[in-house]
Amino acid sequence: MADGDKAIENEADKLREAFHAKYSVSDFVEKKLYDQRDIDNIKSNDLYVQQFIRKTEPLSEAADRLHEALKWRRECGIRDATEESFPRWALERGAIYFHNVDKDGKKLLFVRVKEHKKDASVLPEVKRFFAYHLETQYNEDPHSQITLVFDMADAGLSNLDMDLIKFVITSFKVYYPSLLNVMLIYEMPWLFNAAWKIIKTWLSAEAVKKIKFITRSDAQAYINKDQLLEHMGGTDKFQFRYLSPEERLEEENKANRKKQSSPNKSSFKSPHQRRTEDNSFIGRLLTISPGDELLFTTDETGKETFDVISLKNTLPYAIAYKVKTTSPEKYRVRPSAGIVKAGSTVDVHVYLQQGYNTVSKDKFLIMAMELTSDSADNLQQLWKTVPRENIMEHRLKCSQVHKNGSQDSIASSASSLDQIDKLNTKMDQLMESNRKLEQTVKMMFIVQISFLILILLYYVMLYFFSPSLPPPAPKGNISDYCAGSNLF
């Protein structure tokens, strides 16, 4: 067993001991406060147990978090949740869904706030639907993290649900403590500032660092333009539409039939879309595609240039990998290291940084080694200790092409593409400033109308509710006025 795996097992055993010392597991199962399937899982799944441990806190607090997670799982029935168990409205309205990845290759989970209306009668189902997405992702790949995008565009006070926000925070704090990469809050209205001050009190300093506020002008710092939705300033025209499992299967079949019927259809595709099985290197641990070189394709849109390395594991055990380059200052590799589970494939995105004109002398090295466990912890130390003869290595060269297919240096076009990119950025900033100016003008107009209404109301109240005027002063001497009157 590797040292890293042994360390995880030791930490997990310590937490199990603290947990059983503090809580009567058999009684909780009998009282149906725990699900027996979850108890069976924590007995054998070191990775699941280890995620509740924080090095700055005692094990007793980790045991409390594990206890709360187990209680919630039983109460929520998350183990038995399926797509068919949710009402149609939850599936069709598009308030919560996975789509695309961020710049680090993390899956994006979108929460469209404007699609949610505060309603206590449906809140339990909404919470369960959100948790279902987290549970599904964690079960598919417990080593990976996700990026949560709180899309608050066009949201108003009727969409603000503090109970739901608190549940989302608790989900990543207690129920799935290792799942969140970062939380992006897009276009938060100023009306929500007071709510944010309250929410911030629920978070630790470490959690606050994971929350980023973004707008249309800076969203591309976290998500590439082709992966970003159009209303956020990207080029993805995706519109959510729910498809049942049968409909999704039919859509896939149609796409496959279309691809087979027009294999020579002329269209521009990124290099990784043109990969074939013939262009692969079959190694003793991994099958690497492409097998010989990476192609960085540029076009007139100025989008970020990238290629994809596909690592396929056909073995019955996990393989660890690492990607290196001779020019690390030119490239951004996501993820640059990780694990390919048995029978699965991992895509490594290689981005060429703008401003570099030549790639012909650059090379990439893909390294792979066997793992006795799927654990990703302490891999860095494991790479240092594994014998060199146990490591598989394969090299890829680099080349660069234009969209029209002519393979040459892009020195002549780099400056123009850079200018286009700068113009696009300035245009996005200008549109954003214009939008904010329109909002300010609209707000000023509303304030002016409100002020005029208040003035009008003031004069109306003054007219109808002012006290009676005093009688006119008598003429002449007051004694003359009172003479002969019998007042007393």
Query: What pLDDT, on the 0 to 100 scale, is given for residue 474?
Result: 55
CA-CA distance, 130 to 344, in Å (whole number)?
26
Could you read off the pLDDT of 242-294 as tens digits, one per residue? 988 778 778 777 776 665 555 444 334 444 444 444 578 888 899 999 988 99
Q: 438 in a domain, yes or no?
A: no
Helix axes 162-170 and 193-200, enclosed angle (nearest 10): 40
Same domain, 69 and 185: no
CA-CA distance, 234 to 228, in Å (whole number)?
4
For residues 420 and 394, is the Cβ–Cβ distance under 8 A? no
Q: Give the Cβ contact number of residue 202 at 10 Å.
A: 13
Kindly give, in sequence order, each residue whose CB lies less than 8 Å from that of residue 160, ignoring residues fewer than 6 positions away.
Answer: 118, 192, 195
pLDDT less than 50: residues of the chain: 1-2, 263-277, 302, 374, 405-417, 478, 481-488
Same domain, 98 and 59: no
Same domain, 209 and 103: yes
pTM of the model: 0.56
Same domain, 145 and 194: yes
CA-CA distance, 298 to 327, in Å (whole number)?
19
Same domain, 218 and 159: yes
Could you read off the pLDDT of 127-168 as tens digits, one per residue? 999 999 999 999 988 889 999 999 999 998 888 899 999 999
Q: 239 in a domain, yes or no?
A: yes
Burial 419-446 (b: 16+ CB within 10 A, else e): eebeebeeebeeebeeeeeeeeeeeeee
Query: What pLDDT, on the 0 to 100 scale, is given for residue 273?
Result: 45
Among 359, 389, 409, give the residue marking a domain's end: 409
Same domain, 88 and 73: no
Q: 261 in a domain, yes or no?
A: no
Same domain, 87 and 220: yes
Domain count, the chain: 3
CA-CA distance, 326 to 318, in Å (whole number)?
27
Q: 242 in a domain, yes or no?
A: yes
Same domain, 240 and 355: no
Q: 327 in a domain, yes or no?
A: yes
Q: What is the CATH number of the domain that holds 197?
A: 3.40.525.10
Q: Which domain holds residue 32?
A: 3-79
Same domain, 357 and 383: yes
Q: Give the Cβ contact number of residue 311 at 10 Å.
A: 22
Among 23, 47, 79, give the residue marking a domain's end: 79
Among 382, 409, 436, give the residue marking a domain's end: 409
Which tokens is 242 given? 């729910």
Q: Which of 114, 178, 118 is nearest to 144 (CA)?
A: 178
Same domain, 347 and 391: yes
What's the burial of 284, exposed, middle or buried (CB within 10 Å: 0-12/13-18/19+)?
exposed
Q: Give the Cβ contact number of residue 375 at 10 Å.
A: 25
